[in-house]
Amino acid sequence: MKKIIKLTFFVMLLAGLSRGLNAQDLISHLFNDGKLDPFWACTVQSPNYTIVEEGRVKTFWTEVGYDGSRTDKGAELCCDDISFLKEGWYGVTINLGEDYPTDKKAGIAQIFQFYSDSFWTWAGMINMDHGDLALTHRSNGGSSSNVDTVLYEDFPKNTDVNMIIHFILSNENAGEIQVWIDGTSVYHVENTNFGFAEEWTNDVQSSEHSFVTFKAGQYNYEDSDYSEGETRTIYYDNISWYNGPDGYDIVDPTDAPRDFVVCDSSDPFVKVEAENYCGESGTKTEDTTDEGEDQNVGDINSGDWIRYDAVDFGQGAVAFDARVATPKDGPFNIEIRLGSEDGELVGTCLVENTGGWHSWETVSVDFEEELEGVHDLFLVFTGGGSFLYNLNWFVFTKSADNVNLALDGTATQSTTDYGGEASRAIDGNKSGEWADSSVTHTSAGEGEWLEVMLDEDQAIGDIIIYPRTDCCSDRLTYFTVSVLDASSNEVFVKSYSQTVEEPLVVSTRGVVGRSVKVQLDESNPLSIAELEIYPYIDVDSDGDGMFDSVDTDDDNDGHPDSEDLYPLDSSEWADTDVDGIGDNSEIAATPINISTRGYVLDGDKVMIAGFVVEGTDSVVVLIQGVGPELGDDTFDGYNTMVDPSIGLYDADGNVIVENDDWESDDAAAISDASVIVGSYTLEADSKSSAILTTLAPGAYTVILSSADDQSGVALVEVYNIPNLD
């Protein structure tokens, strides 16, 4: 039986909860700048997401990725910069996506409360309830005190609806809650109990440890109601949170401007003007003195960054060039990162004195590994201090095998319908939307085909087929991909019986041919967004001195390539159930890592993390409390913790095991487990802590504290260790 661990992570930072609680604050964002800041995505994990798209927040959730954890139920938006002791106002524009179901119940906004340092839950929940917009609120009576009311019957889809919520907390029958929809009061109750508290009166709260914040976004708590494959999309805009009196006009989302700028993806292999970013932090643009140019990015300080969305590096980029100017000696850096300003670092480009703010030079860096695929690109400027340098443009260099041969070829197809010419398959536009005029279309005859002819014989490596995505994905299900020689003889053939919804990579491993053909095995229209053909670069995958083109066992696993479904993967050779996942991967596949990072103070102001082991079998778990290995960098001005200590507790609060310094308990086994899952490598003599233990199914809690009463940022990680008994 497979061992499966499902970790549901709930995290509470007990340090600094009273920050700014007594001030009247306003947090407001229209999202026209393409950024979530000061909000952040919370209660969300892939494939669900919370992002800014076209000047508003898009929250997307799908049942496909649900693994039983709490974070897989949501796609929410949080903010730590504002909290509420007594009274609050919440303004928002909500737009329900077309895919949102009308037969389910789920939360779409929350008044969320922390109570007495040990308890947190929602006090008020805006729900979508079987097609109606509804409100549920409660008090110290918990679920027994729930008050439910419908605010808007048959809530519309694809329509902006403005909502304002006002509340006053009370446990002495002096509370109030009111909701307005599109300017009309639809619910109002006074002299009531609302929220969780110790001793609240009409205007005084006795415990500063109880406070409230808001959440926007989906929380799909009724997991028993999920439908296989379903998706739910909700858009949020014009969000304002205010914690003072008389806030209606302050948070009113009505008539907020929608002057967002849609950011086009940049071609990284053609000179990219730095000022054409999709987002930035801290920089400015200015007229440039560089020859033939308009503007450059300036006023660059250490830690600033600029972002470019959905940059397609294709089959590989090997180098980066940038045009810079500075009178300062530095050295300074341009860090090339993926996904976020602190995401994967793929290269660091050195910038030194060029002779002046307007003395322009080109600087370069070669990558150790090729950069492939589509990524949000972040250029992060580092080196210490302010006013580091100016940046005018940058460009990436393609790898030798990143040349799409099809772009210089000729495309033909069996028939043409609806204007879907064959040339669309080799126009460089990979959009699968018919409206973008880049999708081919044949008639619905038997065996419709598309062929791309090259100028000369080529050793072909990968063929990539990009499908139509706005509809009709099932049309590309039963089909054959072949490579033909100059006499139209088949030299490579591979048939498929799977629906292609994502780009399909077909590896021919060096077969020499003149054309590539895609042909349906049934009667249907053939529609392809793009067909790319890349040259084969001969390699020696198993290091045995023989190139793959002549080696009959390229991965040296004892299974001849002719019988090996995974000829370049020594750990796989069969797929018995024909599901696209190798037999060995299916045995070992299991979630392995969930983590959280936070700032911990001294004493009892600790970080608490919880997880649940589900199923029937015990599992081996590695738990790490990491401090020094996080590095010397600061996090929002806070240093990393020097000596973190962790304890593991069962559901009844009993101590199972504790650890202060990781080497004090079975250091060799901990090191081996760390290698297996790729966790932080704990250094010799490090004060970080670690626990390696076997746990039965159940709920567990990890508490991280400071062993030497020194505050700092620390990280708690929980890993399931596969194949370790």
pLDDT band at 232 (very low <50, low <70, confident <90, very high): very high
Average pLDDT, the chain: 82
Predicted local confidence at residue 3, as pLDDT: 30
DSSP 251: H
**What is residue 629's predicted lDDT score, i.e. its pLDDT?**
85
Q: Please name the residues in contact with 428: beta carbons below 8 A apart, sequence gap of 6 or more.
A: 404, 407, 530
For 550, the 3-state DSSP assignment is coil
Give me the pLDDT at residue 359, please: 93
Q: Are strands 698-706 and 607-613 parallel, antiparallel or unpaired?
A: antiparallel
In this structure, the strands spanning 26-29 and 211-219 are unpaired
Q: Which of 646 and 142 is assigned the larger pLDDT? A: 646
Closest among 435, 418, 436 to 427, alpha carbons compared:
436
Alpha-carbon gap, residue 459 to 535, rounded angstroms: 6
Question: CB within 8 A of 353, min separation 6: which ones?
Answer: 326, 327, 328, 329, 330
Tokens coding 692: 């390696």
482: pLDDT strictly greater than 90: yes
Give which of 36, 80, 39 is closest to 56, Cα–Cα: 36
Give me the residue label for tokens 């040339």. Answer: 423
Whether a cis peptide bond, with omega within 30° of 0, leads into 331 is: yes
The sign of the CA dihedral 536, 537, 542, 546 is: positive
- Write out pLDDT tens, residues 16-28: 222 233 345 788 8
Tell me the β-bridge partners of 568: none
- 230 and 67 Cβ atoms separated by less than 8 Å: no
CB 560 within 8 A of CB 574: no
Helices (H) and strands (E) in the chain, counts: 3, 41
Phi–psi pair at 252, nearest 5 degrees: -60, 120
Residues 106 and 221: their CA atoms lie apart, in Å, by: 6
**What is the Cα–Cα distance from 533 to 402, expressed in whole angstroms?**
10
Q: Give me the phi and psi of 434, to 5 degrees please.
A: -60, -35
The predicted pLDDT at position 345 comes to 95
Structure tokens at 497: 């019986």
Residue 576 pLDDT greater than 70, yes or no = no
Residue 535 confidence (pLDDT) above 50: yes
d(CA 342, CA 338): 8
Across the strands, what pairs with 531? 465
Prediction pTM value: 0.40
Q: What is the DSSP code (8-state) at residue 682?
A: P
Given a cut of 90, whether residue 218 has pLDDT beyond it is yes
Q: Which amino acid is at 361?
A: E
What pLDDT band is residue 260 in, cutting at 50, 70 and 90?
Answer: very low
Tell me which of 394-398, 440-444, 613-617, 636-640 is least confident: 636-640
* Placement of tokens 């730590």 in the chain: 80
pLDDT tens-digit map of 314-370: 878 999 999 999 999 989 999 999 999 899 999 999 999 999 999 999 999 999 988
Position 9 pLDDT exceeds 70: no
CA angle, residues 231, 233, 237, in degrees to nearest 5 = 170
**264-292: average pLDDT:** 82
- Which DSSP letter does residue 586 get? H
**Percent share of the chain, pLDDT over 70:** 82
Nearest one of 193, 199, 141 to 169, comparing CA atoms: 193
- DSSP readout, 633-680? --BTTBPBPSSEEEEEE-TTS-EEEEESSGGGS-HHHHHHHHHHHT--
* pLDDT in the model for residue 441: 95
Mean pLDDT of 230-250: 91
Q: Got the DSSP string for 327-363? A: SS---EEEEEEESSTTSEEEEEEEE---SSTT--EEE
Distance of CA 656 to the CA centre of its chain: 34
From CA 412, how far away is CA 531, in angstroms rounded? 12
Q: How many CB atoms lie within 10 A of CB 10?
A: 16
CB atoms within 10 A of CB 581: 12
Q: In whole angstroms, what is the distance from residue 524 CA to residue 293 CA?
A: 50
Query: Residue 1 has which token pair?
Result: 């039986």
Rg from Cα positions in the chain: 29
- The mean pLDDT value for 417-441 works out to 92
Query: What's the distance, Cα to Cα, between the start and end of the chain in Å?
Result: 13
**Residue 11 confidence class, pLDDT cut points 50, 70, 90:** very low
- One-letter amino acid identity for 254? T
Q: Are 604 and 577 in contact (CB under 8 A)?
A: no
